[in-house]
Structure formats: C-alpha cells, structure tokens
Chains A and B, each alone.
Chain A
C-alpha cells in the first residue's frame, strides 16, 4: 500500500469515525442520566441538518447553524417533557419502545415538511470540487471542519462533565439517582437537560457533515445503528471510550475496502457489534464491576 493510499484511507476512516463517535456520545449522555437508549438520537442529527438548511435560505450560514442547534435542543427538551418526564419509574422495555416510536414519528414529520429529496448545506470553504493536500492525501476542506468541530465538541464535553457544577450534577445522577436527589439535585431536570445536550451535539454534527453526506429525512436510522455499535464497542455510558471506539470502527471500515469488496463494509461493523456483545458485553473499555451495578 502506498503512503498516499494509506493516508487517504486514514482520513476517510477518521471522518466516518468521528461522526459515529458524536452519535455514540449522544446515546451515552442520555443513557447515563436515564439508563435508556434513545433510539431517536439519529433523528436529532437529521433535524439539525434539515433545520439549518431551511434557515440558511434566509439567514447566513453561521447563525443558521447556531439557531438550528438551539431549535433542535428545544425539540429534544419538549420530547423529554411530553413523552418521558411524567412516567413514574418506567421499565427499560417501555422506554425503548417509546424512543423507537418517537424516531418513526420524527422521520414521518420530516418527510412531510422537507419531502423525500436530499438536501445539503453549502461547503464551509470552497465548493464540491475543492480539495487540499495533507500527508499525500487529497481531501475536501469540509473533512477538516468535521474533524475539527467534532474534536472541539468532545473536548468541551469532557471539560463540562469534569469541572462544571452542572456537569458534575449530571454525573451524580448517573452514578446514583437517589443519592443525587437527596443531595438536592433535581434529577428530573437533569434528564431534560441530558436530552437537550445530546440533541444539541447531534444537531451540530448533522450540520457540519451535511455538505459531505447530504441530509435526507431518513438518514438518521443508519447513523443510529453505527452510533449504537460504537457506544457498545466502547462500553455504554463512557463518552471518551466512544471516541476511541468510533475512530477504531471508522478506520477499520475504511481500510477494509482495500481488502474486501465495498459491499461488505456494513457487514464488518455489524459483525464487530455481534462479536463485542458475545465476548465483551461491557465494551472494549468497560469494566465488569461497574456494569453489574447498572440495571441495563
């Protein structure tokens, strides 16, 4: 393999990987505060992209993206308040069915609003054919935007969870909800906030990736599957592990093309998911003891 081909695969892999990682982090944030998997996570990514595209027809790109993120966060909060907040100690199965139902609902609403066609935001720099040369590889400048913005998002999130009061409150809720409530943390608000946060980062990811992948009303489903694979691969609830797992999966997928036909790309990620579920159900970076303390 030439150096050129190697770095070309590497960049393709990092691009896929970081997007998967962002979706996986969205899963993890909600999982940590509620113990459920929000299967509508992919739809937040789609909504972010779609809303930004619609807004961009009347306002410039940066405010359009900012507003789209805010609107998606509000939608995330509303979903939690309307469908989840009032449930008194719901079972895991019930929550899963609710979130799957929500994802179908959002998709159908999006189909009615935006139609079946693909849309996309303009490239942040240059256009569809501009490319820059890095490490022998020719890549679109948008790839750097995706890697950069997602990287910053991951860093900010880890600072947020480690050093801010709100972030610590959220972590307390995930560690022990009862104890956190006794300490005066409003656990219900933390759940709402976790929905807003994961909707927000999903929406931002949806905006930066839109020029590369396009946005279509049903593009969330595929992302949710990949994101879920990555979340499980890294260990559910562990956001930093999700980044490592996402990059790992993306790079494996990209390099696999050099060896096996392209048609097997998705088979590889699903096989990895199955193997992990059988061999290390707590993920590559998960710990058995902490996993035993969780209900799901």
Chain B
C-alpha cells in the first residue's frame, strides 16, 4: 500500500513538473511563429518560394543564436491556396499553438478570409498577398509586404499614356489577386483617360485561351492587352496571342515576376511589359541603389541553397520574416509592443522596396518600389 502511495505521488509530482516546465520553456526560449502558405496547389508559384525563403531565414537567425537569445520556432502550414484551410489553420495557430505572429497567407483571397480572425485574436498577421484591400481599410494587426496593386496599375497606365494607348482589353484569373486587380484596373482607368473596352475572367486552371484571344483580336479598337493573374495561364495568354499572329502590346501584372513564367512562355514572352520589384534585375542596378546589397545577398543565399531562381514572391516572404525579426529585436517578444514597432518602422530596406509604415499605411511601400520591366532574350531587364 505504502509503495503504491509513493509511486503515485512520484507520478503526480513528475506530471506536475512536466506540465509546469513545458509551457515555461516554450515561452522563455523560443518565439513561436506560424506561417500559412500555399506550398502546393494553384498558387504554389508563390507559396513554394515563400516557405523556402522563410525557413531559410529562420534557420539563419537561429544559427546566429536567435533574437536576444530566443530561437524562432517556425510552424509552416500548407493551405494549398484554399481559403477554408487557411481559416482552420489560423484558428489552430492562434487558439492551440498560441503563436506570436502569423506570416502569409500567400494569396489575397485567403488573407481577406482570415483578416478578421487575426484581428479578433490580437495576433500580428504579415500577409504576402498583393491586393490593396488587405490594408485598406487598415486593420490594427494586419500588415502586408508586397507592393499595392493600385501602384502596379498606375505604373502600367503611366506607360500607356506615354505611348498614347487609349483603348485596352483586360484579362484576369478568377483568384483573389485577379479579381482585385481587375477592379483596380477598371476603377483607375478613367483617371488616365483610358477606356477598358473588353474585360474577361478565366478559370485559374485554364489551359488554353486561344478562343478568347480570337474574340479580343476581332475587336479592332483594342490597342493593348493587360493580363492580371498569378497562375500559369499568364504564360498561356502570351503564347495564344502571339500564335494568333496578334502584334499587340501585352502588359502583365507584378504576378509575372518569376522567371519560370518566361521559360514557360518561351519566345512568346519577349517584349511583355510589367511592373515588379527590383529583385529581378538586382545584378544590373546601379551601385547607388539602397536595395542592391540586400537584393544580391538574398538572391545569392536562395539560389545557392535551393535549385531554384529567386523570385519577387520569395522576396515577399523574406520581407515578412525580417520585418517581424527586426521589430522583435527592437522591443522584445511582446505582441503589443512588436505591433507598435512595426507600425512605426521607418526606412526598413527589404526586397520589395524601402518600407515606411505608419498608422494609416500598413504596407509602407510607395509607387517607386515598382520598376517597369520587360523580357529580352529570355531575361528580365529594366524597361
């Protein structure tokens, strides 16, 4: 009886120690960061590089001893660009894992679904989604690293004004990014005296767009085509337009900033004009450019570690984790203080541009963070 009593007490004691020691360890030595990224699925072109980049940067920070001695415990969840999955992962990360902050999601559609959940859970969200609606109106805990889509639209329209292009056609993928972009294109067009004479939306899984290209081509008013999507269809559009023998200027969104799309479109990619962050042309930037050093560093690290070319999308992941790390470094691992630190962060040099956050701007980038680019001999060059 006595022995039974002792062993029970011992077991209870051990249990208590386990219970008390585990959470204590978690909160003192590590910072738990969640990441919800579309590693697979239709937006894997974004989520793949983002998750590899974030993992790489976290490993780097941890290898250097962490932030103020605290290591980052990174939990990556693959949403497959599915908003329902993003929602359940967000709830899981906030309620069960009690994460410090969430990075991602990769797409605008998913971000809009979880924006309110993070807001209610008072958890910092640094999205890699591009659409402006993520930060307009501003939500207290929600930030984003990619440039706003309205800036991309304005950059494109500026270029059209210079060329005296007045009537255009708009094609967009049926993703959150495509829909938001199409809306911006239609809203901003009158400001620049441009008329959108045709607007079509295609499925994100579209494999051949020759029929819709034929339809647009039959409209002789169209002086240029703008395509807005993040899916492989942006390479298919380019091919179908050129195969139809249509020599029209083709503009793409900043979603085109992955050299794989150029490879996929091959000769048809030549001459496509699009706005993008300067990462793509890091090698040829003048030395005076403030971003050059960090762009080359990231490109070098990423391309050496993975059998993959660095894209602006991985850069959005880089900016997200580095902004969080910088804020934690400044004020310590306190959620509220870190949120304030991000909101007041100025002159942070990232891959997307120079970030200047404020209470009214949770993106922090200006229109100059984009540069117009084109494709020449299968490479990105400044336009």
Interface residues of A, Cβ cutoff 8 Å to B: 2, 4-5, 8-9, 11-13, 15-16, 111, 115-118, 120, 127-131, 133, 137-140, 212-214, 216, 218-219, 222, 253-254, 257-258, 261-263, 265-266
Contacts and interface: CB of A to CB of B under 8 A. Distances in A.
Nearest to A255: B211
Contacts of B209: 262
B291 interface: no
A12 B214 contact: yes
A138 B265 contact: no
Contacts of B203: 263, 265-266
Contact of B210 (A8, A117, A218, A219): A8
B230 to A, nearest CB: 12
B40 A111 contact: yes
A13 B211 contact: yes
A20 B279 CA distance: 41
B273 interface: no
Contacts of B238: 128
B138 to A, nearest CB: 31
Contacts of A115: 48
Chain B interface SS verdict (over half): helix
B211 A9 contact: yes
B202 A262 contact: yes
A27 to B, nearest CB: 19
A131 B244 contact: yes
B7 interface: no
Given A12-B211, A214-B236, 16 more contacts: A8-B211, A11-B210, A16-B208, A117-B260, A127-B266, A127-B267, A129-B267, A130-B243, A133-B245, A138-B243, A212-B207, A213-B208, A214-B232, A254-B211, A257-B215, A263-B200
A246 to B, nearest CB: 14
Contact of B243 (A116, A139, A219, A261): A139
A142 to B, nearest CB: 9
B215 A116 contact: no
A130 B239 CA distance: 9
Contact of A138 (B202, B208, B215, B244): B244
12 contacts: A9-B214, A15-B210, A118-B232, A127-B266, A128-B242, A128-B243, A128-B265, A139-B210, A219-B205, A257-B215, A262-B200, A263-B174
B201 A263 contact: yes
A12 B209 CA distance: 8
Nearest to A262: B200
B121 interface: no
A146 to B, nearest CB: 10
Given A116-B39, A214-B235, A8 B207 contact: no
B242 A218 contact: no
* 8 closest Cβ pairs, A-B complex: A116-B44, A213-B207, A8-B214, A128-B266, A12-B211, A129-B242, A128-B268, A138-B245
Contact of B45 (A9, A117, A213, A219): A117
A214 B207 contact: yes
A128 B239 contact: yes
A5 B214 contact: yes
B13 interface: no
B264 A214 contact: yes
Contact of B215 (A111, A118, A213, A258): A258
Nearest to B48: A116
Interface in B206-259: 207-212, 214-215, 218, 232, 235-236, 238-239, 242-245
B344 to A, nearest CB: 37
B208 A12 contact: yes
B232 A8 contact: no
Contacts of B207: 212-214, 219, 222
